[in-house]
């Protein structure tokens, strides 16, 4: 009885926080209700990154993925890469996506730049940070082109999961995971989760033709590049599916594991912080970081 009551309370809190994030996104405001927009003018000190790579959002998705299937989580990006200026400008003007055919050369030019050497790092805006305890665990900025879209890999994923409070007996079994994800033809909720899992793990290690995980971007079925949390992106729609987690856990038989996920890891904290970050940088879902003074190219 205690387990069921505690699960109901924690999931109710999770749903309340996540629903608040969705409502803020729909309004296009930050947590104070004041509209916020990116400047669209990246400079040597302002660097645009896809919001899904912001520490709290990255951690939320990593925790859910690792909890579901560690091998999948190991395909998340190990590094974050700033958007080429031309891509950033286009996405600010067209949050629903820019044709990849028009953007491809800018990504190729960035990947071909062998002169990328950095001594420092970039700092996320305050709306996209978490506490000092967790911040250093997030993906660092890439230092050379070979790191673009590099996957986290198993060893680093295991280390990050342990640091964030995941125990091995909290992880779903293969049967429980298959119950969540389903098989074709999937129901609408399963289809959204399936698409989102692919988008968050679109790294070199996942056999994706055009990987974009290090940018926090997605290549949709229409051939457009857009942020993973841009309007109508599968991973933004997946927020609504998370509100059904209690029912999914009951149906698939892992209520106790889900209870432990939300009580023994900082996931509720990250959801709250991540919602603020997404809401602050609507609708393109691209945040402006600043380059530290000791960072030289």
pLDDT tens-digit map of 151-184: 999 999 999 999 999 999 999 999 999 999 998 9
- Please, what's the b/e burial string for 93-113 (b: 16 or more CB within 10 A of its CB; e: otherwise)? eebebbebeebeebbeebeee
Kindly state whether residue 166 falls inside one of the protein's structural domains: yes
Strand order of the β-sheet with 122-123 is 46-50, 286-291, 122-123
Query: Taking 50 as the threshold, does the pLDDT of residue 1 lie above it?
Result: no
Q: What is the per-residue pLDDT for 39?
A: 55
Tokens matching residue 89:
């400008």
Instruction: State the average pLDDT over residues 144-154.
Output: 95
| Confidence band for 268, pLDDT divided at 50, 70 and 90 | very high
pTM assigned to the model? 0.86
pLDDT band at 209 (very low <50, low <70, confident <90, very high): confident
Q: How many helices (H) and strands (E) does the chain have?
A: 12, 6
Q: What is the pLDDT of residue 294?
A: 55
Could you give the percent of the chain with pLDDT greater than 90?
Answer: 63
Q: Which residues lie closer than 8 Å to 33 by C-beta, 6 or more apart? A: 27
Residue of higher predicted confidence among 192 and 139: 139
* Residue 296 is assigned to a structural domain of this protein: no
Could you tell me which residues come within 8 angstroms of residue 102 by beta carbon, excluding any fewer than 6 positions away? 90
Please give the full DSSP string across 124-155, using - where no structure is assigned: --GGG---TTTGGGSPPBPSSGGGTT-B--HH
Helical pair 174-181 and 55-68, crossing angle rounded to 10 deg: 120
Number of domains in the chain: 1
The answer to whether residue 41 is domain-embedded is no
Q: What is the mean pLDDT of residues 67-96?
A: 96
Distances (CA, A) of 8 to 5, 16, 263, 270: 5, 12, 12, 20
Whether 278 contacts 42, CB under 8 Å = no
Which of 217, 197, 205 lies closest to 100, judged by CA? 217
Q: Give the pair of three-digit tokens for residue 93.
A: 């003007």
Residue 181 burial (CB < 10 Å; 0-12/13-18/19+)? middle
Is residue 38 in a domain?
no
Question: Residue 236: its pLDDT value, please?
Answer: 75
Band of pLDDT at residue 235, cut at 50, 70 and 90: confident
Residue 76 lies in a domain: yes
Mean pLDDT across 2-7: 48
The range of the structural domain enclosing residue 202 comes to 2-29+46-291
d(CA 18, CA 239): 7
Least confident of 90-94, 108-112, 230-234: 230-234
**Quick one: pLDDT at residue 90?**
97
147, two tokens: 């790191």
pLDDT at 35 (0 to 100): 35
Higher pLDDT, 4 or 124: 124
Q: 97 lies in a domain?
A: yes
Residue 40, in any domain of the structure: no
User: From CA 273, how far away is CA 130, in angstroms rounded?
Assistant: 7
Give me the pLDDT at residue 27, please: 41
pLDDT at 242: 74
Burial class of 149 by CB neighbour count within 10 A (0 to 12, 13 to 18, 19+): buried
Is residue 74 situated within a structural domain? yes
Average pLDDT, the chain: 85
């Amino acid at each position: 009885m205690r387990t069921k009551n505690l699960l109901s309370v924690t999931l109710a809190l999770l749903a309340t926080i996540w629903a608040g994030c969705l409502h803020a996104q729909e309004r296009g405001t930050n947590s104070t209700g004041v509209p916020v927009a990116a400047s669209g003018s990246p400079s040597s000190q302002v660097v645009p990154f896809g919001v899904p790579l912001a520490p709290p959002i990255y951690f939320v998705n990593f925790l859910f993925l690792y909890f579901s299937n560690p091998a999948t989580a190991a395909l998340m990006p190990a590094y974050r890469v700033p958007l080429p200026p031309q891509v950033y400008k286009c996405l600010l003007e067209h949050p629903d996506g820019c044709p990849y055919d028009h953007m491809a050369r800018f990504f190729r030019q960035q990947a071909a730049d062998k002169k990328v050497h950095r001594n420092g790092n970039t700092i996320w805006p305050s709306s996209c940070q978490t506490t000092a305890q967790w911040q250093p665990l997030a993906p660092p900025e890439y230092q050379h082109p070979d790191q673009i879209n590099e996957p986290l890999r198993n060893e680093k994923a295991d280390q990050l999961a342990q640091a964030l409070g995941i125990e091995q007996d909290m992880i779903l079994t293969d049967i429980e995971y298959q119950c969540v994800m389903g098989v074709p033809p999937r129901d609408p909720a399963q289809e959204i989760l399936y698409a989102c899992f692919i988008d968050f793990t679109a790294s070199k290690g996942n056999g994706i033709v055009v990987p974009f995980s290090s940018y926090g971007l997605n290549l949709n079925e229409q051939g457009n590049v857009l942020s993973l949390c841009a309007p109508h992106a599968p991973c933004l729609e997946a927020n609504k599916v998370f509100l059904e987690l209690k029912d999914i856990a009951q149906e698939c038989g892992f209520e106790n594991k889900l209870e432990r996920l939300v009580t023994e890891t900082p996931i509720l904290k990250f959801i709250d912080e991540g919602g603020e970050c997404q809401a602050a940088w609507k609708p393109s879902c691209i945040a402006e970081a600043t380059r530290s003074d000791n960072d030289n190219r």
